[in-house]
Amino acid sequence: MVEKILMNREEAATTSIAESATDSKHDFVTKLRQPSLLPRLLEYIKWQRALRRAIALGETPEEAPEGLSPISLNLDPTTACGYDCTHCIDLPILNAKIKFDHEKLLSSLGNLIERGLRSVILIGGGEPTLYPKFKELVYFLKERGVQVAVVSNGSGNEDILDCARYFSKGDWVRLSLDSGTNDTFIAMHRPKKKNISLEGICAWVPLIRKANPALPVAFSYIVTWEGAQENGQKIISNIDEIVLATKLARNYGFSYIALKAFLTRHQNGAEVMDTKMIEDFDLTVKRIQDAIDEAKTYETEDFKVVTSTNLGGLEAGNWKDLMDQPKTCHKQWLQQVLSPWGVYNCPAHRAVPKAKIGGKDAYAEASEIETTKKSVVAILSRFNAHKECANTACPYNAMNWWIEKAINGELDPADMEALVEHGDYYF
C-alpha cells in the first residue's frame, strides 16, 4: 500500500517546487474548470437555475444534486494548541474539551471521499500535529488518493517528517511563523514549551525536504501593523521583519514565503481585514509594498515570494472590491470546515453558530448525509454573504461572482468550457 501512496513521487519531482506550490493558488475558477471538476460545477449551476425558477414561480424546487458535497475540506483534527499567539483569531475556541471519535472521523472522511472529496487541509482551530493519530489520519487520506496539506505552527515537525514520504503530487506543508527573528517569534507566538525557537523550527525543513524533495514547504507570514488588536491586546508590528523572514526562509530551504494580511474577528463573527486599525494607513501600506519589493529580490528558481488575495488587494488599493459579495456564497457547496465544533460553511466563520451546517459527526453515517445535504441547501439560501461578509476581503470573491453570472446566463458559453487538467483540488 505504501507503493501506491508513493507512485506520484517521480512525476512530482519533475516540476519546480516553487512553481507547483504557487501557480494559480487562488484562481479558483480555473480549478473548477478542470475536466475532472467541471461536470459537478455545471450540475450545480443547472440546479441553482432550476431552484431560483421554482422559487419565483412558487413551485416545489428540484432535489439537490448528488454532487452537492464538498470537493475540498478544511479539517481541524483537534482544538489543542501549545501556543498562546497574541494574533490568533481562534484563541477563544482553542483547547476545548470536545474531541472527535477517531473511527467516526475516518467514517466521515470515507463517506465524503465516496462523494467526490478531492483535497483535505489539516489545519486549526488547534495544532493538527497534536491530534493523537495524526500520522494515521494522513495515511488514511493518502491511501485513498486524496490531496493532503498541513498548516502547522512548527511544533510538530517531527511528525510531519515521519509522514513526509507519504505525500505526493499536489500536497504541501505550511508553517505559520510570522517573524524574522526569534525574539519577535516568541513574543508573538508565546509557545508553552521553552525549548521552541524560530530557527529550531526552521532546522527541520531541510530534513523534511530531503525525505521528500517533491513536497513544497512554505514559510507563512501574517503581516501585522501598528494599531492592530485581537483578543483585547495590541499586536506587535512585524513589517520590518518581512525581508529578514524571506532570507531566513530561503536559507533554510523553504519553497516559498506566503505573505498574508492580519485578520481580526468582526463583531458579526467573520474574519475581516480591518483597515481602520491601520495607523497612518498610506505610510503603512507603502512600507509593506517596499518590504515586499525588496523581499522579491531574493527569489530564485526554487524559492518564491507569494502574497495573499487580501494583502494583494491592500497593496493595489482595491481591497474594497473584495468585500462586495453576492448574496449567495457558492463556495459553501464545494468547500467546508469540519472541526470538533461541527461542520461550518467557511474558515472565516469557524465555530460561528449562524455558519453551522451540522454537528461534528454530520458525515459519519450514510443515513445522516441526506440530512446534512438539506442543511447545505438551507444555508445556501439563508446565509446572506452580501451582508454577513460585507467586511471580508474574500479570496473566493471572484469565483462566487463568476458562478453567480453563470447561473444568471451572463457568461459566454466559451467561458464555461473545460480547461487543462492541472491536478490542483484545493479550495
The model's pLDDT over 393-412, given as tens digits with 9 standing for 90+, comes to: 899 999 999 999 999 999 99
Set of cell numbers at residue 283 = 505610510
Q: Name the helix (H) or strand (E) containing 343.
A: strand 342-344
Is the backbone peptide bond immediately before 125 cis, with ω within 30 degrees of 0? Answer: yes
Count of alpha carbons within 13 Å of 224, Cβ hemisphere only?
Answer: 25
What's the pLDDT score for residue 21? 41
Q: How far apart are CA 170 and CA 11, in angstroms?
A: 11
The model's pLDDT over 192-224, given as tens digits with 9 standing for 90+, comes to: 999 999 999 999 999 999 999 999 999 999 999
Q: How far apart are CA 93 and CA 83, in angstroms?
A: 13
Q: How do beta strands 342-344 and 233-234 pair?
A: unpaired
**Does residue 13 carry a pLDDT above 50?**
no
Give the residue among 251, 185, 258, 208 at the shortest CA–CA distance from 21. Answer: 258
Find the mean pLDDT for residues 36-60. Answer: 96
What's the pLDDT score for residue 24? 65
**Does residue 19 carry a pLDDT above 80?**
no
Find the mean pLDDT for residues 238-258. Answer: 98
Tell me how crowded residue 297 is: count the other CB atoms within 10 A of its CB. Answer: 9
Least reliable range by pLDDT among 64-78, 90-104, 312-326, 370-384: 312-326
**Does residue 374 carry a pLDDT above 80?**
yes
Q: How far apart are CA 156 and CA 154, in angstroms?
A: 5
Q: What is the pTM of this model?
A: 0.92
Count of alpha carbons within 13 Å of 223, Cβ hemisphere only?
Answer: 31
- Computed over every residue of the chain, the mean pLDDT equals 92
120 DSSP 8-state letter: E
β-sheet bridge partners, residue 151: 174
Find the mean pLDDT for residues 253-267. Answer: 92
Q: In Å, how far are 26, 87, 299 from 292, measured between CA atoms?
A: 19, 21, 11
Set of cell numbers at residue 186 = 516568541
**Does residue 50 carry a pLDDT above 90?**
yes
What's the pLDDT score for residue 392? 86
CA 131 to chain centre: 19
The structural domains of the chain, ordered by start, are 2-7+37-53+67-416 (3.20.20.70)
Contacts of residue 254, defined as CB under 8 A and 6 or more positions apart, other chains included, come to 202, 205, 217, 218, 219, 303
What pLDDT band is residue 318 in, cutting at 50, 70 and 90? confident
Q: How far apart are CA 402 and CA 419, in angstroms?
A: 15
**For the chain, how many helices (H) and strands (E)?**
18, 14
What's the pLDDT score for residue 232? 80
**Does residue 386 carry a pLDDT above 60?**
yes
3-state class of 304 per DSSP?
strand
The model's pLDDT over 94-137, given as tens digits with 9 standing for 90+, comes to: 999 899 999 999 999 999 999 999 999 999 889 999 999 999 99
Count of alpha carbons within 13 Å of 97, Cβ hemisphere only?
Answer: 0
**Does residue 9 carry a pLDDT above 80?**
no
Q: In Å, how far are 113, 134, 258 from 308, measured between CA atoms?
A: 28, 28, 7
User: Above pLDDT 90, what percent of the chain?
Assistant: 79
β-sheet bridge partners, residue 150: 122, 173
Find the mean pLDDT for residues 53-60. Answer: 94
Could you tell me if 328 and 406 are in contact, meaning their C-beta atoms sit under 8 angstroms apart?
Answer: no
Q: How far apart are CA 165 and CA 159, in angstroms?
A: 12
Could you tell me if 266 and 274 are in contact, meaning their C-beta atoms sit under 8 angstroms apart?
Answer: yes
